Amino acid sequence: MTTTTATTTARTSQSAFDGSRLRVILLLDLYEGAQQQFLEAYEVMRRQVADVPGHISDQLCQSIENPNQWLITSEWESAPPFLAWVNSEEHVDTVKPMHSCVRDTRSMRYSILRETGARLPATPETLAAVRTAREGDGVTRHALTFTVKPGSESKVAELLAGYESPEAQVDENTRLRRTSLFMHGNRVVRAVEVEGDLLAALRHVARQPGVRAVEEAINPYLEQDRDLADPESARVFFTRAALPAVHHVVSGRPTPAGLRRHALYYPAKPGRGMELARLLAEQDQKAAEDPKSPVYGSTLFSRDDIVVRLIDLTADLDADPVASLGVKGAGKASELERLLDGPAIGVEGALDNERNINRLLSHADMLPVTDRTSGDS
């Protein structure tokens, strides 16, 4: 007799791991008279990015209507190599000369799902890219992470928990839906969910007097100095703090009441951050399709060797430790052990027993500071 296991349909709205090529579009508005300086800075960047693994090509375009408006497009083999490059210190240093030329920028990233006139090899990856399109919920997810001086954690948590929530409605098309803030030791992670334009929402939040007061109040405690009154200082800080979402999936079953939100911190071994994020993404995809899994939804954020997994659970965190950690299934705990920097999180030894699994879950669980949805005061 054959027993079948019921599954549900998972809704995936963000993923860097679908195997499709990536198109990156950067819109720039230059200051008057800055074209030559910009072109020189672009040439330096173009030569450097040409040697980055995964980069295919790029184009620089100037508007035929407004000579101060420019467009840079680039194509990549997939999203992970681009994310590794754009979040690197090398990239931060490379684009610094452009900052004095550019009044405003807007970056957009797209998976290439259809193409006219191209003859691509029929690989499983290209066929999958042609067949599938992600189903979104109209929400963009993003996070920031930074560290504070050791010993200041409780004061910083107090300041961050006490800020006045900004007005949720940004404009007729954009709304702040949820802000979740966690700490792990001296590391702060702030995740936001936005309906509409993420950049417009971030600018809206930054302009709020209450938010600015809190940001100024925590400045003395930051390990990386910043001056929010100095556009260059603020730009570099928030560039380095960016923690992009690389995968988001939610179960297609009805949303249960009383979901529990947790953030888990996974420091990866050097150079293994994206591989670790991919492992967890695959596990959370399976969990979202399993009606018995306590993991109802998951968002993975990754930058360099930092991976943060935001999960919504239908049960307590420790009710099913392997599912909560994202290592359910044969060999998954050993895969995580291979990629995880255990000593950095205070867990050494093989993840082949219940004691070490529970210990890792306890050490990875981040301290919740605040979790606010639209309408919260």
Q: Does residue 298 sit in the same domain as residue 263?
A: yes
The whole-number average pLDDT for the span 333-361 is 93
What secondary structure letter does DSSP report for 62?
E
Q: Does residue 208 sit in the same domain as residue 268?
A: no
Cβ-proximal residues to 226 (8 Å cutoff; 6+ apart), any chain: 219, 233, 234, 236, 237
pLDDT value, residue 204: 85
Q: Does residue 218 sit in the same domain as residue 257?
A: no
pLDDT value, residue 220: 94
For residue 261, the tally of other CB atoms under 10 A from its CB is: 15
The amino acid that residue 314 corresponds to is: T
Domain boundary among 98, 131, 164: 131
Residue 14 covered by a domain: no
Question: What pTM was estimated for this model as a whole?
Answer: 0.89
* Spatial distance between the Cα atoms of 32 and 104, rounded to a whole number of angstroms: 12
Residue 9 covered by a domain: no
The contacts found for 122-130 with CB under 8 angstroms, 24 or more apart, are: 124/19, 125/19, 125/20, 126/19, 126/20, 128/18, 128/19, 128/20, 129/18, 129/19, 129/20, 129/21
Q: In this model, does residue 318 exceed pLDDT 70?
A: yes
Q: Does residue 111 sit in the same domain as residue 37?
A: yes
Q: In this model, does residue 195 exceed pLDDT 50?
A: yes
Residue 36 covered by a domain: yes
Q: Which two tokens stand for residue 12?
A: 């995936």
pLDDT tens, residue by residue, 240-298: 899 999 999 999 889 889 999 999 999 999 999 999 999 999 999 999 999 999 999 99
Residue 373: pLDDT band (50, 70, 90) is confident
The whole-number average pLDDT for the span 343-361 is 92
Residue 336: CATH number of its domain: 3.30.70
Please spell the DSSP secondary structure of 305-353, one letter per residue. TEEEEEEEESS-GGGSHHHHHT--STTHHHHHHHHB-HHHHT--S-S-S
Which percentage of the chain shows pLDDT scores above 90?
A: 66
Q: Does residue 263 sit in the same domain as residue 238?
A: no
SS3 helix, strand, coil % of the chain, rounded to 5? 35, 30, 35
Q: Does residue 233 sit in the same domain as residue 172?
A: yes
Residue 13 covered by a domain: no
Q: Which domain holds residue 165?
A: 139-242+369-373
pLDDT value, residue 347: 92
Residue 220: CATH number of its domain: 3.30.70.100
Q: Does residue 194 sit in the same domain as residue 264?
A: no
Residue 329 covered by a domain: yes
Residue 3: pLDDT band (50, 70, 90) is very low
pLDDT value, residue 126: 53
Q: Does residue 356 sit in the same domain as residue 259?
A: yes
Whole-Å CA distances, 189 to 42, 126, 185, 262, 358: 32, 35, 11, 12, 23
Residue 5 covered by a domain: no
For residue 116, the tally of other CB atoms under 10 A from its CB is: 4
Domains held by the chain: number: 3
pLDDT value, residue 10: 82
Q: Does residue 363 sit in the same domain as residue 249?
A: yes
Domain boundary among 131, 164, 183: 131
Helix (H, G, I), strand (E, B), or coil: what is residue 231? helix
The whole-number average pLDDT for the span 351-356 is 92
Q: Does residue 149 sit in the same domain as residue 238?
A: yes
Mean pLDDT of the chain: 89
Q: Does residue 114 sit in the same domain as residue 147?
A: no
Q: Decide: 318 and 358 in contact? Cβ < 8 Å.
A: yes
Reported as type and span, the H/E element at residue 264 is strand 260-267
Residue 95 covered by a domain: yes
Highest mean pLDDT among 2-16, 52-66, 200-214, 234-248: 52-66
Number of helices and strands in the chain (H, E) = 13, 14
Q: In this model, does residue 166 exceed pLDDT 90?
A: no
Q: In this model, does residue 130 exceed pLDDT 60?
A: no
| Longest Cα separation, the chain | 77
Domain boundary among 131, 160, 182: 131
Lowest pLDDT segment from 27-41, 196-210, 285-299: 196-210
Q: Decide: 296 and 250 in contact? Cβ < 8 Å.
A: yes
Residue 205 covered by a domain: yes
pLDDT value, residue 4: 45
Q: Does residue 209 sit in the same domain as residue 179?
A: yes
pLDDT tens, residue by residue, 55-91: 999 999 999 999 999 999 999 999 999 999 998 888 8
pLDDT value, residue 57: 95
pLDDT value, residue 7: 63
Q: Decide: 80 and 24 in contact? Cβ < 8 Å.
A: no
